[in-house]
Amino acid sequence: MQKLFFILFFSVFGLSSASEIHPYHVGSVEFNYNSKSETFEISGKFFLDDLENALKEKYGKAVHFNSEQYKTQINNYLIKYCEEYLKLKVNNKFLKINYLGYEEDSESVNIYLESDKVIQPKKVETAVSFLYNLFDDQLNIVHIIVNGNRKSQRLNYPDRYLYQNF
pLDDT in tens, 101-136: 999 988 999 999 999 999 999 999 999 999 999 999
In a domain, 60, yes or no: yes
| CA 130 – CA 43 distance, rounded (Å) | 12
17 band by pLDDT with thresholds 50, 70 and 90: very low
In a domain, 85, yes or no: yes
In a domain, 127, yes or no: yes
In a domain, 12, yes or no: no
Q: Biggest alpha carbon distance in the chain?
A: 44
In a domain, 98, yes or no: yes
In a domain, 22, yes or no: no
pLDDT in tens, 18-56: 445 667 899 999 999 999 999 999 999 999 999 999 999
Q: List the domain range (segments joined by +) for residue 140.
A: 29-165
pLDDT at 6 over 50: no
In a domain, 24, yes or no: no
What's the confidence (pLDDT) of residue 106?
83
Looking at the structure of the chain, the number of domains it has is 1
- What pTM was computed for the model? 0.86
